């Protein structure tokens, strides 16, 4: 059956992406959906839920409110809560019911902003796209609104990390390792990490950076915005493994000097033939891992892309997979698979399977097994 997931999981939806991206920025996120759905968007997909405060709320949309178009209840509740909480901003997200009812979130946001004076965004989430779309739109909205001043570049080389969320990197030290690598190995001071471990004030200073490191495809739109607004170049890749980390550090330096953008995550061994190792997942991370495996372990790889991604993120040989049938066929034609454990049931028994949990795919199920692969030897031998 095409375009179905009867055996494996599906990726977190756009609303989860918004909640994850905005979690630490001091804004109020309101999902216009039925009461109880917050656990779907935040608890299951959000390792910070029980240890770090946030302002993520559900509007408790009722059938009657939806049928009668009772937007005033949403507006009134948000305005009232905002007066108590004084958030830095308010983000409104849709869900499937508002999608069908045609709720105009940008217009409602304008109304709330006019009543509260608090910057308010209406985001186009619907539950029909992946977390990448929501995280991308949310971050772009925040940066577009708050990162407006062209600050002087810092004296020392500096960079922003763009696109970090627990959905792609969990909370296992990976992001801290990336920042450490950026400082010590790549030679760049961190201006802001969007959006883990940094504040909204850090993000306001993003224009002071010499270059941006995009670590997930959900960061590309924001990186492009910063390039258009301030001329800051960007490089897409995650410093996994040993040799690829060095490649990425070099690409960052070159980019900062030349102003040219680069996608080292989309480089592959073009001379390789025969079966390759398959890595399904988000393209910037999976592409970086594929290249790291090729460079460190000498095993040719291809990435299977199950999510929204621009063509430029796919290397020759990479393929898009739209359902579990395509995933199973691709696995069967591979020398091995590195993937979230929830892909294992569609991997043939004679194809070696290496577990690498991806929170956006399996939520908290395998969180304890999550790996930090930043700037260190890879744990597999093929």
Partner 1 sequence: MLKLAFYGKGGIGKSTTVSNLASAFAANGLKVMQIGCDPKADSTASLHGGARMRSILDLVRERNNDFTLGEMVREGDGGVICVEAGGPTPGLGCAGRGIITALEKLQEKGAYDVYKPDVVLYDVLGDVVCGGFSMPMRKGYADRVFILTSGETMSVYAAANIAMAVKNFRGRGYASLGGFVLNRRNAPDEDAKAAKLAADFGSAVVGALDWSETVQRAEQLGKTVVHAFPESPMAAQYRALADAVLAAARKGDAPC
CA distances from 354 to 25, 103, 216, 274 (A): 35, 44, 22, 20
Q: Per DSSP, what are the bridge partners of residue 214?
A: 162, 236
Number of C-alpha atoms within 13 angstroms, CB side, residue 177?
18
Binds partner 1 by CB under 8 A, chosen from 15, 16, 20, 103: 103
Q: Is 33 in the site for partner 1 (CB under 8 A)?
A: no
Q: How far is the CB of 55 from partner 1 (least distance, A)?
A: 24
Binds partner 1 by CB under 8 A, chosen from 102, 117, 274, 316: 102
Distance CA 291, CA 286 (A): 9
Q: How many residues touch partner 1 (CB under 8 A)?
A: 12
Query: Is 180 in a helix, a strand, or coil?
Result: helix
Q: Show contacts with partner 1 in window 144-203 (CB under 8 A).
A: none
Contact predicate 46/166, CB 8 Å? yes
Q: Per DSSP, what are the bridge partners of residue 130?
A: 13
Distance CA 220, CA 323 (A): 25
Q: How far is the CB of 3 from partner 1 (least distance, A)?
A: 12
Q: How far is the CB of 306 from partner 1 (least distance, A)?
A: 19
Number of C-alpha atoms within 13 angstroms, CB side, residue 358?
25
Contact predicate 361/344, CB 8 Å? no
Stretch that binds partner 1, among 46-54, 102-110, 132-140, 209-217 (CB under 8 A): 102-110
Binds partner 1 by CB under 8 A, chosen from 4, 76, 100, 259: 100
Residue number, 114 or 273, with CB nearest to partner 1 = 114
Q: How far is the CB of 74 from partner 1 (least distance, A)?
A: 13
Q: Show contacts with partner 1 in window 59-78 (CB under 8 A).
A: 69
Single out the residue of 164, 155, 165 nearest to residue 46, CA to CA. Answer: 165
Binding mask 107-126 for partner 1 (x = CB under 8 A): xx-xx--x------------
Residue number, 75 or 365, with CB nearest to partner 1 = 75
Residue number, 79 or 344, with CB nearest to partner 1 = 79
Residue number, 108 or 175, with CB nearest to partner 1 = 108
Stretch that binds partner 1, among 36-44, 104-112, 180-188, 217-225 (CB under 8 A): 104-112
Instruction: Show Cβ contacts of residue 219 under 8 Å, excluding neighbours closer than 6 positions.
Output: 136, 139, 162, 163, 164, 194, 212, 284
Contact predicate 197/175, CB 8 Å? yes
Residue number, 70 or 372, with CB nearest to partner 1 = 70
Stretch that binds partner 1, among 76-84, 100-108, 167-175, 235-243 (CB under 8 A): 100-108
Residue number, 2 or 381, with CB nearest to partner 1 = 2
Single out the residue of 41, 104, 44 nearest to residue 74, CA to CA. Answer: 104
Q: Is 128 in the site for partner 1 (CB under 8 A)?
A: no
Residue number, 72 or 257, with CB nearest to partner 1 = 72
Single out the residue of 300, 308, 154 nearest to residue 230, CA to CA. Answer: 154
Residue number, 98 or 241, with CB nearest to partner 1 = 98
Q: From edge to edge, which strands make up the β-sheet containing 90-93?
A: 56-58, 28-31, 90-93, 120-122
Q: How far is the CB of 69 from partner 1 (least distance, A)?
A: 6
Q: What DSSP state is assigned to residue 90?
A: E
Q: How far is the CB of 112 from partner 1 (least distance, A)?
A: 10
Q: Is 106 in the site for partner 1 (CB under 8 A)?
A: yes
Residue number, 102 or 152, with CB nearest to partner 1 = 102
287-303 b/e (C-beta count within 10 Å ≥ 16 → b): bbbbbbbbbbbebbbbb
Alpha helices per DSSP H over 122-185: 131-146, 166-169, 174-181
Residue number, 102 or 316, with CB nearest to partner 1 = 102
Distance CA 247, CA 251 (A): 6
Q: How far is the CB of 110 from partner 1 (least distance, A)?
A: 5
Enumerate binding residues for partner 1 (CB under 8 A): 69, 100-104, 106-108, 110-111, 114
């Amino acid at each position: 059956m095409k375009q179905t997931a009867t055996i494996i999981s599906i990726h977190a939806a756009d609303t989860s992406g918004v909640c994850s991206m905005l979690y630490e920025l001091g804004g109020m996120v309101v999902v216009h959906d039925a009461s109880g759905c917050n656990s779907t968007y935040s608890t299951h997909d959000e390792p910070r839920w029980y240890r770090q405060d946030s302002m993520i709320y559900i509007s408790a949309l009722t059938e009657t409110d939806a049928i009668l178009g009772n937007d005033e209840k949403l507006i009134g509740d948000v305005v009232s809560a905002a007066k108590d909480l004084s958030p830095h901003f308010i983000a409104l997200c849709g869900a499937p019911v508002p999608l069908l009812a045609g709720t105009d979130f940008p217009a409602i946001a304008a109304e709330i902003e006019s009543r509260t004076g608090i910057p308010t965004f209406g985001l186009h989430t619907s539950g029909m796209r992946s977390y990448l779309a929501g995280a991308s739109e949310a971050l772009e909205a925040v940066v577009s609104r708050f990162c407006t001043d062209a600050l002087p570049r810092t004296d020392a080389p500096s960079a922003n990390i763009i696109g970090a969320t627990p959905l792609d990197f969990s909370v296992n030290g990976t992001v801290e390792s990336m920042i450490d690598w950026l400082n010590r190995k790549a030679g760049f001071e961190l201006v802001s990490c969007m959006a883990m471990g940094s504040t909204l004030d850090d993000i306001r200073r993003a224009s002071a950076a010499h270059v941006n490191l995009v670590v997930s495809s959900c960061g590309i739109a924001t990186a492009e915005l910063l390039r258009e607004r301030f001329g800051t170049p960007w490089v897409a890749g995650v410093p996994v493994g040993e040799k690829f980390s060095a490649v990425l550090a070099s690409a960052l330096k070159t980019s900062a000097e030349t102003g040219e953008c680069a996608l080292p995550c989309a480089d592959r061994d073009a001379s390789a033939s025969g079966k390759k190792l398959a890595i399904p997942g988000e393209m910037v991370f999976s592409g970086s891992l594929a290249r790291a495996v090729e460079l460190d372990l000498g095993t040719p790889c291809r990435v299977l892309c199950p999510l929204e991604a621009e063509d430029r993120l796919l290397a020759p040989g990479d393929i898009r997979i739209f359902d579990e049938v395509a995933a199973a066929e691709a696995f069967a034609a591979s020398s091995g698979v590195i993937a979230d454990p929830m892909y294992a049931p569609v991997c043939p028994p004679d194809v070696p399977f290496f577990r690498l949990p991806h929170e956006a795919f399996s939520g908290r199920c395998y969180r304890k097994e999550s790996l930090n692969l930043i700037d260190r030897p890879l744990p597999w031998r093929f």
